[in-house]
């Protein structure tokens, strides 16, 4: 069952963090490496990680020596998605916010989730998508739901041949993750298949659909990603920033921003509907049940 505390005004934050470094940051030869660092939880994203990612991206933007940013995940998987069940799940904890929405933690009903997700999911992802330096997602293993959001906000995606992409949240009664780029990253019919079935899309098919730039053997993933990063790092900073800005504006003209605003409303109707039915915000699902059903689907 979902956490009963999800239903109304928040109780105390009870998160217990397993690390003080949920994101690692390093710079070499003009390339910033931003590494999600919760491998024990397949890089599940809690707010601690989200705000650390934001700080790392800001650091990379502020450093004139950085030309390009690689986003990666420590361990076997890129990211299993948003944290819906580790001891470090911290949805009740206030952080220093980056947008001008008010604090969500003491708000009743649907307001709490709506405000939180405006900030930590939709707001952050839009902010990162628009950061003025090129970003490359280096994806291995699982890239699920909230993980998909992080890969999608990057300008380029290099995946290993064992990577897969999946948004299974329709099972929670929710029409896809908060940063709804599905029908822009994939053509609408494939996006429907991807969401209706909630199955894993292998890297190779994602490549065929144009969602991924390159697929390489797992052993070559790092070298291939950094080879591209090194080449991009040779380009002039403003040329890269202007090019990225123009293409991002094209995506907006194609309706990306409006699609997301519409989807976000439906997404929150779904969270609130589920609460009204007494099933918590996630349609009665939690991390354990999602993993179990995922496993069952893939053994069929």
Binding mask 112-141 for Zn ion (x = CB under 5 A): -----x------------------------
Tell me how far, at minimum, the Cβ of 186 lies from Zn ion, in Å.
20
Q: Please identify, using beta-carbon distances, which residue of 117 and 155 lies nearer to Zn ion.
A: 117
Tell me how far, at minimum, the Cβ of 249 lies from Zn ion, in Å.
27
- How far apart, in whole angstroms, are the C-alpha atoms of residue 159 and residue 141? 9
Q: Please identify, using beta-carbon distances, which residue of 102 and 266 lies nearer to Zn ion.
A: 266
Q: Which residue is nearest to Zn ion (CB)?
A: 117
- Footprint on residues 6-25 left by Zn ion (CB under 5 A): none
Q: Please identify, using beta-carbon distances, which residue of 115 and 156 lies nearer to Zn ion.
A: 115
Q: Burial level of 98, CB count in 10 A (0-12/13-18/19+)?
A: middle
Tell me how far, at minimum, the Cβ of 64 lies from Zn ion, in Å.
36
**163 HSE (CA, 13 A, CB side):** 35
- How far apart, in whole angstroms, are the C-alpha atoms of residue 286 and residue 300? 22
Q: Please identify, using beta-carbon distances, which residue of 22 and 176 lies nearer to Zn ion.
A: 176
For the chain, the 3-state helix, strand and coil shares in percent, each to the nearest 5, are 45, 15, 40
Q: Please identify, using beta-carbon distances, which residue of 117 and 119 lies nearer to Zn ion.
A: 117
Q: How many CB atoms lie within 10 A of CB 174?
A: 24
Q: Burial level of 126, CB count in 10 A (0-12/13-18/19+)?
A: middle
Tell me how far, at minimum, the Cβ of 70 lies from Zn ion, in Å.
27
Stretch that binds Zn ion, among 31-39, 109-117, 151-159, 221-229 (CB under 5 A): 109-117
Quick check: helix, strand or coil at residue 224? helix
Q: Please identify, using beta-carbon distances, which residue of 225 and 275 lies nearer to Zn ion.
A: 275
Tell me how far, at minimum, the Cβ of 282 lies from Zn ion, in Å.
8
- Total residues interacting with Zn ion, rule: CB under 5 A: 1
Q: How many CB atoms lie within 10 A of CB 87?
A: 13
Instruction: Name residue 32's beta-bridge partners.
Output: 27, 69
Tell me how far, at minimum, the Cβ of 274 lies from Zn ion, in Å.
10
Structure tokens at 265: 């409303």
Look at phi and psi of residue 75 and say left if phi exceeds 0, alpha if psi is from -120 to 50, else beta: left
- Footprint on residues 39-58 left by Zn ion (CB under 5 A): none
Tell me how far, at minimum, the Cβ of 271 lies from Zn ion, in Å.
6
Tell me how far, at minimum, the Cβ of 119 lies from Zn ion, in Å.
12
Stretch that binds Zn ion, among 9-17, 110-118, 234-242, 253-261 (CB under 5 A): 110-118
Pairing between β-strand 23-28 and β-strand 31-36 as defined by DSSP bridges:
antiparallel
Binding mask 67-106 for Zn ion (x = CB under 5 A): ----------------------------------------
The secondary element (H helix, E strand) that includes residue 138 is: strand 135-139
The secondary element (H helix, E strand) that includes residue 79 is: none
Q: Please identify, using beta-carbon distances, which residue of 32 and 263 lies nearer to Zn ion.
A: 263
Q: Please identify, using beta-carbon distances, which residue of 178 and 185 lies nearer to Zn ion.
A: 178
Contact call for residues 89 and 3 (beta carbons, < 8 A): no
- Footprint on residues 221-260 left by Zn ion (CB under 5 A): none
Contact call for residues 154 and 134 (beta carbons, < 8 A): no
- Interface residues with Zn ion (CB under 5 A) are 117
């Amino acid at each position: 069952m979902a956490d009963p505390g999800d239903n109304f005004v928040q109780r105390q934050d009870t998160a217990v963090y397993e690390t003080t470094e949920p994101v690692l940051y390093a710079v070499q030869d003009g390339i910033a490496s931003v590494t999600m660092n919760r491998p024990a939880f397949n890089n599940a994203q809690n707010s601690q990680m989200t705000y650390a990612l934001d700080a790392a991206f800001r650091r990379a933007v502020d450093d004139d020596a950085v030309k390009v940013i690689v986003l990666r995940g420590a361990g076997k998987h890129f990211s299993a998605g948003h944290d819906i069940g580790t001891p470090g799940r911290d949805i009740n904890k206030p952080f220093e916010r980056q947008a001008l929405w008010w604090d969500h933690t003491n708000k009743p009903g649907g307001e709490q989730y709506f405000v939180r997700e405006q900030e930590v999911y939709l707001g952050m992802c839009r902010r990162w998508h628009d950061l003025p330096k090129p970003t490359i997602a280096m994806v291995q293993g699982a890239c699920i739901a909230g993980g998909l959001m992080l890969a999608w906000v990057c300008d380029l995606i290099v995946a290993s041949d064992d990577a897969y992409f999946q948004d299974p949240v329709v099972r929670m009664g929710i029409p896809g993750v908060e940063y709804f780029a599905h029908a822009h990253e994939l053509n609408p019919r494939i996006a429907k298949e991807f969401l209706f079935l909630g199955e894993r899309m292998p890297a190779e098919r994602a490549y065929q659909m144009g969602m991924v730039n390159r697929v390489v053997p797992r052993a070559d993933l790092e070298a291939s990603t950094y080879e591209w990063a090194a080449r991009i790092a040779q380009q002039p900073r403003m040329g890269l920033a202007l090019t990225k800005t123009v293409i991002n504006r094209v995506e907006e003209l194609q309706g990306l921003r409006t699609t997301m605003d519409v989807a976000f409303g439906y997404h929150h109707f779904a969270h609130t509907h589920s609460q009204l039915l007494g099933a918590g915000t996630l349609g009665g699902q939690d991390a354990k049940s999602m993993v179990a059903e995922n496993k069952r689907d893939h053994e069929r």
